[in-house]
Structure formats: structure tokens, C-alpha cells
Amino acid sequence: MSGRTALAGVTALAAVTAVTAGALVAPATASTHDRHSATQRAMDAAVKDGVPGVTGQAKDKYGTWHGTSGVGDLTTGRPRDSRDHYRIGSITKTFVATVLLQLAGEGKIDLDDTVDHWLPGLVRGNGHDGRQITVRQVLNHTSGIYDYYADDDFAASFRLRDGFFEHRYDTWRPEQLVAVAMRHEPTSSTPGRSWHYSDTNYIVAGMIVQKVTGQSYAHEVRKRIIEPLGLRGTTDPGTGPDMPRPSSRAYSKLADDSTGPTYDVTEFNPSAAWTSGGMISDSADLNRFHAALLGGKLLRKRQLAEMMTTVPMGEGFPGARYGLGLAQRTLSCGQEVWGHHGGILGSTSEAVTTKDGRHSLAFNFNGDWSGNSNAVLEAEFCGPGTGGQRDQ
């Protein structure tokens, strides 16, 4: 759910015994395999660093490549499957933003409407004022609204061991999540002045979708994105704790550090993430979604330009800027990619594509405490066999 490790990756501090499975290539051609060999090595390195297992898919002008490494189940040793479903965390935000931009293109909402226009009195207290915050500022994280996920009591109940096992099946309502944020002062007293990642922004965005349409967010994302693109592996689970098949087990340390025992956290009620990070998908669907989005198949030209109008993400995120639910990153070789990082209990994911939507990569670690996801991105787009230069 949080974007704190979106670009820097995580230094591995603990090892997990894992079995490495070779890459599966389809269609199998020498040129395709060679182009993605660095990506496979980066996945293997993540497993060596402590990630239980990795699954991913890349699509480019040579075809489709599937890579796996490590295990999907630490108890049985079953390897990860290239078809695995997984919790996509904050990649959910890109789906939410796409729906709101479609509504803007239909004239049903203006990005410069205030939050209070649609949700009167919701964002109010301790310096927060929804009358001064626009929908655009919510979507690009310049609203200043405090991140409910940073609240110590909430974090203890959601991602630390004792709280997780006591509350893993609890249901959170969106209004409750916003109320948690309202206990704190905003991160900026002037909306629009500075960027600060906040999951609360996208809870608010999801509530606006529902207010504008009169339908649930799940209904709108299914009608507007999932069904038109034929995303058969993508769902909004609501309050359901189970994962669809095929899927791997998901693991966490349930602690503030990376030491100690590893816990299976596969099943839990994801309502605590909702539109900030609750969706489930697979690598093939995420690539299809991002290619369609950047390829202009989901948004009108004006709305896509709005989505890709970015603000700097700050000193902690070199080479990165943030648009409306979509991050722009410039990799070491100069390649520009667009997409989102996704982190939630037991799951770390990335989904990016080039600006023209013709070269995409989506992958997942089934652990949340180790592995360098940025290294996998660098390997795919800048590694040997790619030419180490920008895609044309």
C-alpha cells in the first residue's frame, strides 16, 4: 500500500531458503531469451537476498517473456507460477485515477473541483480543509492530507504481529480510514505546494468515484477497465480475505525490521487498503492495462496528458516524478518508464511501461521485507541484451 520503497528498493537483511526455478519463455526464441536474461538474473538475486519467490512477465517487440524464481510456498517448496495472482498494493491507485479521469473526460467532474464539493465536511480538522484541496491535488499527492497508514495505532493493528493476528479479518469503512488521518496535522499547510505520498488521498478519490457515479468503485473499475480490456485475473476483493487460484503464499516479518521469524499472511481482509491498495491482479493483466493506458485506449488525449503532467517526488526519489496516479521514472540508461510500485502485507510489486506502451514489465515478490525491485526494472530496460538505451 505504501510507496515509501517505490524506487530505492530494500536491502536484504535476512535469508529465506528457496528453490530457484528457471525462466519460462513463451514464445521461446533465442532473441527473446537473451533480451530478458538480465531480468532473470535480477529475479534470482532477489531470491538470494531473501525474497521467497518472484514471478513476472515482460512484453516487447520480440514477444512475451515469463520469468519465475524461488518458491511460492515455503512449507512445500512449490515454485512460483508465471500465472500467479497477487495483491498489487498501490498499483490500485492507477486504476482509481484512470476511472476519475474518464469521468472528467465525460464532463461529470472537474479536476479542479474541491474535495468538499463532492464530500462535504469529510476532510476537516487539525488543519485539514477539504474546501481548499482539489481533486487534482488528491490524485498527485500534493493535497497535504496526512497518510492514515503512518498512524502508529493503525500500523500496529495492520502490519505488526500481535495486531495483525487479532485484526486480520476486521472490516474498515472508508470514512474510518479518513478519520484516522484527521487525527493528525496535514503534511503541508498549503495544498499544492509540495509532494507527500498519502494513502488517504486515494481513499478520498475512491469515495469521490462513488459519489459522482452513484455506483461502487468496484462496479466502475470493472465496467470501465476490467471488462473492456478482458482482464480475467484482475479483481477488487472487497472484504474477502482469500486469493484466487493460481496464487502463491505471501510472507511478512510483521515487524519494523527485517529480522525474526517469517509469517504466512496470505489471507486477510483488504478493506484497510481499499482504493489505496486493495486490488488483486497478475502480471499479464497489469502489462495489458498499462500498455492500453499509455497507448491511449482508456483515456482521451486531454485526460491522458493530465495524467502524465508530473510534479517532482522529492530528494528521496531521484529521477522520479508523479502525475495523477502514475509515476514517471528515468532509469540509469536514460530510459523513461511509467507505472507504479505496489506494497502491501506479504507482497511487493512493480508494473511499468515505456511512454508508447510497447515495452512493459510487471512482477511480484511474495515477501515484503527484502529484495531490490528497482534492480529488476534496471535489468529489464537497461541490462545486457536491451542495448542499454532508450526504446524507440
**What is the arithmetic mean of pLDDT over 144-153?**
96
Helix, strand and coil percent figures for the chain, each rounded to 5: 35, 20, 45
pLDDT of 256 reads 84
More confident residue, 353 or 257: 353
CB atoms within 10 A of CB 120: 12
The pLDDT assigned to 33 comes to 57
Residues in the chain: 392
- Report which residue type is found at 116: D
Confidence at 1, pLDDT banded by 50, 70, 90 = low
User: In this predicted structure, what is the pLDDT of residue 59?
Assistant: 97
Give Cα separations from 12 to 50, 52, 264, 348 (angstroms): 6, 12, 19, 14
Residue 80 CB-density burial (10 A; 0-12 exposed, 13-18 middle, 19+ buried):
buried
Written as one letter, the residue type at 136 is: R
Residue 223: predicted pLDDT: 98
List the catalytic residues.
90
pLDDT at residue 392 tops 80 = no
Calculate mean pLDDT across residues 27-50.
81
CATH level 2 (architecture), domain 24-31+48-309: 3-Layer(aba) Sandwich (3.40)
pLDDT for the residue 9: 34
CA nearest to 47, candidates 72, 84, 81: 72
Contacts of 176 (CB under 8 A, 6+ apart): none
Q: Please report which confidence band the pLDDT of residue 4 belongs to, taking 50, 70 and 90 as the band edges.
A: very low
**pLDDT score of 318:** 83
Query: Each residue of 271-281: pLDDT tens digit?
Result: 999 999 999 99
Q: What is the pLDDT of residues 283-325, one digit of tens each?
A: 999 999 999 999 999 999 999 999 999 999 987 888 899 999 9
pLDDT of residue 242: 97
Rounded average pLDDT over 147-170 = 93
pTM score, whole prediction: 0.91
- Give tens-digit pLDDT for 212-257: 999 999 999 999 999 999 999 999 999 999 999 999 999 999 998 8
The confidence score (pLDDT) of residue 11 equals 28
Dihedral of the alpha carbons of 248, 254, 256, 257, in degrees to the nearest 10? -60
Work out the percent of the chain whose per-residue pLDDT is above 70. 90
- Tens-digit pLDDT profile for residues 105-129: 999 999 999 999 999 999 999 999 9
State yes or no: pLDDT of 135 exceeds 50: yes
